Copies of this chain bind each other. A is one copy, B any other.
Amino acid sequence: MLVPMARITIDDVAARAGVSPTTVSHVYSGHRPVRDETRQLVHQAAQELGYRPNAVARSLRVRKTSTVMIVLPDITNPFYPVFARGVQDALRKDDYHVLLCNTDSRESEERLFLDEAVSRRLDGLVFMGYWVTTDELLEVAATGVSVVHLGQPADRATVDCVWSGDQVAAEQVTSYLLGRYGQSVAFIDGTMEAAVSRSRAAGYRAAFASAGHDVPAGFEITEDFTTEGGRRGMALLLAGDGPPRAVFCANDLMAIGALEEARRRGLTVPGDVAIAGYDDIDAARLVTPALTTVRNNPDLLGAACGELLLSRMGGDTDGAPREVLIQAELVIRESA
């Protein structure tokens, strides 16, 4: 490594170029005309000194960081990277920088990042989490950061949100399974703290209700939103004395885990057990049999969040909260 570098400030550049700091500033910002000759001088001085403008100082002064944070529960779930990229692409047109933050679905981390966002005075926040309430999001919005929530609208208006109609989609899947495999349809849900879990569960139950059946006892299970969770859930279901004919999993990762577990036990899918997932991540097409699932359009969801954020950060700070619905829909493949 080199010696800790000399700290070159705008004053150093100004001195070397024989102009005032003001002028150097304007050379960089373009906020007012500078004579060409002067501009050259400044650039040369900056070059020679190896000047790098300090964005921290700038942010402090202008009260703007040009940065937005995306908070996500699990970056190793392929759904989220695609979503994040959607946000990022939408934001690229203006000159925002985006920070990706991974909570690992932990409550403490969710709050930590929210805190971060406000203390760092970020311009925007796209949030998806399991623990934080919309009221808390509203609080961070109140500090001045624009926030968009990936999740269903709260009962009363709070922050902008984009969602994908989980309950409707879950009901659609369940009805499909019910129609095809009879009443023996189980559901492996994710963390019950997650609003999405509750919605998907509600959809599952609604399908039974509208088919005029009761949900069989022991057919609703709660596990992690991971491959491992799906595996465990499937093991549990299979251990019962009336194992299900079909299983709906709250996301694809779980469905893939369930699939592996079923195969491990020598069951054929969908011959012995049918399996359906949720999200339509890339891997859903790749596993064998290809997964019947719900297309959750992470790219569109991300883009929508990005757009919403842009308009808020662009100054439309006091319109009523907006809701964008990008309805998820059933994709039938081989596993069910």
**B5 engages A143 (CB within 8 Å):** yes
Query: Closest approach, in angstroms, between the C-beta of A303 and any C-beta of chain B?
Result: 15
Residue of B nearest to A140 (CB): B52
CA distance A100 to B116 in the complex (A): 15
Chain A contributes a number of interface residues (CB within 8 A of B) equal to 53
Q: Chain A residues in contact with chain B, CB under 8 A?
A: 1-5, 50, 52-57, 59-60, 65, 75-76, 78, 81-82, 84-85, 88, 97-102, 104, 116, 118-121, 141-144, 159, 227, 256, 260, 282-283, 286-288, 312, 317-319, 321
Question: Contact at B100–A102, with CB atoms within 8 Å?
Answer: yes
Q: How far is the CB of A68 from chain B (nearest CB, A)?
A: 11
In the A-B complex, the 4 residue pairs with the closest CB atoms: A288-B288, A100-B100, A55-B119, A99-B99
- How many Å lie between the Cα of A81 and that of B100 in the bound state? 11
Question: A317–B1 contact, CB under 8 A?
Answer: yes
A76 touches B82 (CB 8 A): yes
The answer to whether A141 and B1 touch across the interface, beta carbons within 8 angstroms, is yes
CA distance A207 to B98 in the complex (A): 43
**CB nearest neighbor in B for A253:** B282
Q: Which residue of B lies closest to A64 (CB)?
A: B56
9 A/B residue pairs, CB under 8 Å, sorted by A: A52-B118, A52-B119, A53-B119, A55-B119, A56-B59, A75-B100, A84-B102, A227-B282, A283-B286
Q: Nearest-CB distance from A271 to chain B (Å)?
A: 16
